Copies of this chain bind each other. A is one copy, B any other.
């Protein structure tokens, strides 16, 4: 008798902290349609429905719009495990950003408390970091796009896509003249490093060899994701501020 077999909408709402309205909504847009209705037309959710709801909430927390979530979940090669994995990854990103936020906030707090005036640079940095929280889901979206792909070529494509994403972002920052101790710059450098480590299997030597190579042959037009000297210097520079 420990295992219930059906939940009515109100019960489910209470247990999950969602509202009844939300569940109705998900039903109407056919994102989560309870597998049964009672004689009187009351929604009855079963275990499978709840499992689906969990997937929905996870994806929602990752920042996807409901419509996309529907597509993903209904894709034939959808894998629940990956969703959870991605969510864990994201958690780490978030924690890092929060650490940055904390340090920015602490700086400002100290300045305010001692009645010094806060420089514009600090203010802008703070605003930027606050925003990253929202803005960051875009990266996740990239990673997710290939959720249903095969594992071989997909892995590579995913990396290439993220690499070019990072590099184009860096170009942007260079164009804007962003300072190397800027939080956004630091975060970009961090991502670049992480990715190259994945590429090379974490082998420091390969990285160093490549760096050396590009330093000596600065104008090699090799398939390099557009990492030229300028970009490279920017990364190095930002990295030193991490």
Which A5-19 residues have C-beta < 8 A from chain B?
A: 14-18
Q: Given the complex, which residues of B lie within 8 Å of A85, measured CB to CB?
A: 109
| Closest 10 pairs between A and B when the two form their complex, measured CB to CB | A17-B131, A16-B127, A54-B123, A81-B112, A84-B109, A57-B130, A57-B127, A15-B124, A17-B128, A61-B130
Quick check: B124 and A81 within 8 Å, CB to CB? no
Chain A contact-residue range equals: 35 or more
Q: Which residue of B lies closest to A56 (CB)?
A: B127
Q: Does A118 contact B (CB under 8 A)?
A: yes
Shortest distance between the CB of A178 and any CB in chain B (Å) = 8
Which B residues are in CB contact (< 8 Å) with A91?
A: 98, 101-102, 105
Interface pick from A45-53, A154-162, A203-211: A45-53
Q: How far is the CB of A116 from chain B (nearest CB, A)?
A: 12
Complex alpha-carbon distance, A109 and B87, angstroms = 10
Known: A14-B176, A123-B50, A123-B51. A105 touches B131 (CB 8 A): no
**Cβ of A126 < 8 Å from any Cβ of B?**
yes
User: Separation in Å of the A93 CB from the closest CB of chain B?
Assistant: 11
B contact residues around A132 at 8 Å (CB): 17
The answer to whether B124 touches A16, judged by C-beta atoms less than 8 angstroms apart, is yes
What are the residues of chain B within 8 A of A112 when measuring CB–CB? 80-81, 84
| A47-101 interface (Cβ within 8 A of B) | 47, 50-51, 53-54, 57-58, 60-61, 80-81, 84-85, 87-88, 91, 94-95, 98, 101
A135: CB under 8 A from chain B? yes
Expressed in whole angstroms, the minimum distance between the Cβ of A11 and any Cβ of chain B is 9
Chain B neighbourhood of A27, CB < 8 A = none
Q: Which residues of B contact A124 (CB under 8 A)?
A: 15-16, 50
A28 CB–B CB distance under 8 Å: no
